[in-house]
Amino acid sequence: MTPPEAGARSGPPASGPPVALVTGAAGGIGRAVALALAAQGLTIAGVDTVGAADPGGAGDLAARLRDQAPASTVLAADVSVAAEVEQAVAVAAGIGPLTTVVNCAAILTCHDVATTDEAEWDRVFAVNVKGTYLVCRAAVPRLRAAGGGCIVNLSSVHALATVPQLAAYAASKGAVLALSRQMAIDYAADGIRVVPLIVGSVDTEMSRQHAAAQGLPPGHAEPGDRSLGRMADPAEVADVIGFLVSDQARFVTGSPVVADGGMLTHL
């Protein structure tokens, strides 16, 4: 498949149930979001570096999604590569009208500025910032064609208040926050809401890697735990996103939404 020209209008939207594109869908928050939005009646086009043919998490996710919406799929794409993003978005928009985009794909490294080499810095920004930009650039014309919709870009508490040794990650999440606010202004007239979601610590593989780098035991979200700043289950973040992309949140755009379990109160 030849990807469409970057930024090109896609023409009339495909018919059928609305489609949600979710990046980083094979695991962590992305997986939970894909399952939650499928339960809300959306057809899911998941995007990850491994696709539905993967025998692991992505393949299992694709099977679970198809139980809810048979047209759902998980596509293999690197969000930092423009041609792969364009192709994935084109496939998603071919399934049905693309109305929802959730950018969850991200990587984290644990160094200060002096110990972050250039290749590491570039890769964090390529995935976390450029990847968000590329997905949004490809998706906006399809959202316009569908009559509007919602984009949720995952930022982090580290964009606002951080801890040692997260130079590249904190800077990248600050960029995602600023980009989201700008997009909300640029696309309001198109009926496209753009919401930056500030998340705290979530029980994912990336968070476990961060804990290990700090010499800390991995966190755990106990059911009913009411302590401030506790680690969330990915499904708790997915529930917030499910609300944000729904019509119930039609007045929410541009301003950051915080789902951190109170972590910012003591960072």
Neighbours of 123 (CB within 10 A): 15
- Say if residue 208 is exposed, middle or buried (CB neighbours under 10 Å; 0-12, 13-18, 19+): middle
pLDDT of residue 206: 64
Q: For residue 202, give the H/E element and its range.
A: none
Residue 17 CA neighbour count, 13 Å, CB half:
15
pLDDT of residue 16: 81
pLDDT of residue 219: 60
Residues with a catalytic annotation lie at 169
pTM: 0.89
State which residues of the chain have pLDDT below 50.
1-11
Q: Is-contact 33 58, C-beta < 8 A?
A: no
pLDDT of residue 10: 41
pLDDT of residue 211: 53
Neighbours of 106 (CB within 10 A): 26
Neighbours of 44 (CB within 10 A): 31
Strands (E), the chain: 19-23, 43-48, 73-76, 98-103, 149-156, 192-199, 257-259
CATH architecture of 19-265: 3-Layer(aba) Sandwich (3.40)
Order of all β-strands in the sheet with 43-48: 73-76, 43-48, 19-23, 98-103, 149-156, 192-199, 257-259
- Quote the crossing angle between the two packed helices 82-95 and 131-145, to the nearest 10°: 30
Give the residue from 41, 45, 38 showing the smallest Cα distance to 64. 38
Q: To the nearest whole percent, how much of the chain has pLDDT over 90? A: 75
pLDDT of residue 210: 55
Residue 112 CB partners (closer than 8 Å, separation 6+): 164, 165, 167
Q: For residue 214, give the H/E element and its range.
A: none
Count Cβ neighbours within 10 Å for each residue of 141-154 and write b for 16 or more, e otherwise.
bbbbbbebbbbbbb
Domain locations along the chain: 19-265
DSSP class of 5: P
Give the residue from 138, 148, 133 showing the smallest Cα distance to 99. 148
